[in-house]
Amino acid sequence: AYNFSAGPATLPEAVLRQAQEEMLDFRGVGASIVELSHRGPEFIQVAAEAEADLRRLMGIPQDYAVLFTAGGATTAQALIPLNFAAPGQVADYVVTGHWGKTALKQAAPYVTINLAANTEAGGFRDAPPPSTWSLSKDAAYVHYTANETIHGVEYRDIPDVGEVPLVADFSSSIASEPLDVSKFGVIYAGAQKNLGPVGISVVIVRRDLLSRAGQPRADIFNYASNLAAESMLNTPPSWNWYLLGLTVKWMLAEGGVEEFARRNARKAALLYTTIDQSGGYYRNEVVPAARSRMNVPFFLHDAALDAPFLAEAKDAGLISLKGHRVLGGMRASIYNAMPEEGVQALAAFMQDFQRRHG
Ligand code: PLP
């Protein structure tokens, strides 16, 4: 089936096959990678290659550290103020969807929030440009969500916020196109959309920020300590790290972020065109310039058709199209690992469904 789940999401078949092949006997060691010590030579190599490959894939400069962490993007949202803001300091938050709200909620106990922009009143359908943000004077950082997974709202241009470090949640669009990492203070992402399986996240931090005192916190919540321990301050999620490494290798072999940018543009264009040319049978409510290339939420003109749409789609091998409960309707998540054939099949199905139920 073509799986349009928002995350955990579809993984490249080649990655799953390799993992299956190596599951019982990791490269002749006689044990599975899930059974081997994270301090052993096999896993140390897996971890080192994952970082080197991710650096190559994303063009991460040397003055940026890469951390592999457990706890998901949500934990990063709480750790960012603890690590990069002094107690009581202001941090600017731009909220353009559900996950921006989550970021704010996780940070609120540790910083004074300045809501620099918030599109909730308009139903989270837009990505207001940085020129309209109400930034504060001495913010510790500016946080925004590059791609809102539920509302399907994406910032394509990197916001210019001057000298203040820009902190970005890239959970659902990391490595989907070339990105100038040097424009950011921190980029973080849960892996379970574009980078591999759930259970591991990536935090890319400009190294100078790691010398900020932050706030009193346990060592395990300290990004500098985690970096000093090479992301192994405690037992890391080694299986997830291994799968992430395979996924990154696959992306490099496929042609890297430039190639995925082209594929993703074609996939998104096909789906939005199908919606826009349906004469209102399907609709996407996001302002066209802010439409996500990764997550395409859409509604049928009559909600009574939702159940038959999902049932018939499933029969046609198109699964996980139900929209998130906060929005309803449908959502097609079309990350790097979703082949173009999958999106073509979905577009054809949508047109056929309209003909039969129109
Ligand atoms: N941020 C974004 C943009 C997301 O899409 C998600 C999850 O879907 C999260 C944060 C939360 O991630 P996690 O479940 O890994 O904590």
Residue with the nearest Cα to atom 10 of ligand 1? 73
Span 32-54, average pLDDT: 97
247 is in an annotated binding site: no
- 145 in ligand 1 pocket by Cβ < 6 Å? yes
Domain ranges of the chain: 14-254, 256-357
ipTM of the complex: 0.99
Q: Residue 17 pLDDT > 90, yes or no?
A: yes
Q: In this predicted model, what pLDDT tens digit does every residue of 44-58 receive, in sequence order?
A: 999 999 999 999 999
Please tell me the predicted confidence (pLDDT) of residue 320: 98
For residues 97-123, average pLDDT: 98
Ligand 1 contact, 7 CB (< 6 A): yes
Q: Is the Cβ atom of 73 under 6 angstroms away from ligand 1?
A: yes
The SS3 assignment for 33 reads: helix
Q: In this structure, are residues 322 and 310 in contact, taking their beta carbons and an 8 Å threshold? A: yes
Q: Is 126 a catalytic residue?
A: no
Q: What is the pLDDT of residue 84?
A: 98
Is 314 part of the annotated catalytic residue set?
no
Stretch 332-343: mean pLDDT, rounded? 98
The answer on pLDDT for 283 being more than 90 is: yes
Average pLDDT over residues 313-337: 97
- Give CA 221 to chain center in angstroms: 21
Torsion (CA) 313, 319, 323, 329 in degrees, nearest 10: 0
The C-alpha atoms of residue 34 and residue 252 are separated, in whole angstroms, by: 24
Report the share of the chain in percent with pLDDT over 90: 99
Instruction: Determine whether the shortest distance from the Cβ of 238 to ligand 1 is under 6 A.
Output: no
Indicate the pLDDT class of residue 358, thresholds 50, 70 and 90.
confident
Beta partners for residue 112, in sequence order? 90
d(CA 272, CA 62): 38
Cα→Cα distances 261→87, 145, 194, 345, Å: 40, 19, 12, 20
- Domain 256-357 CATH assignment equals 3.90.1150.10: yes
- CATH of 14-254, picked from 3.40.50.300, 3.30.1200.10, 1.10.3720.10, 3.40.640.10, is 3.40.640.10
Q: Could you identify the atom of ligand 1 that is nearest to the CA of residue 6?
A: 8
> Is 139 within 8 Å of 185 (Cβ atoms)?
no
> Residue 178 is encoded by which pair of tokens?
């070339």
Question: One of 53, 92, 133, 193 is an active-site residue; which one?
Answer: 193
Answer whether residue 285 shows pLDDT above 90.
Answer: yes
* pTM of the full structure: 0.98
Based on the residue annotation, tell me whether 169 is a catalytic residue of this protein.
yes
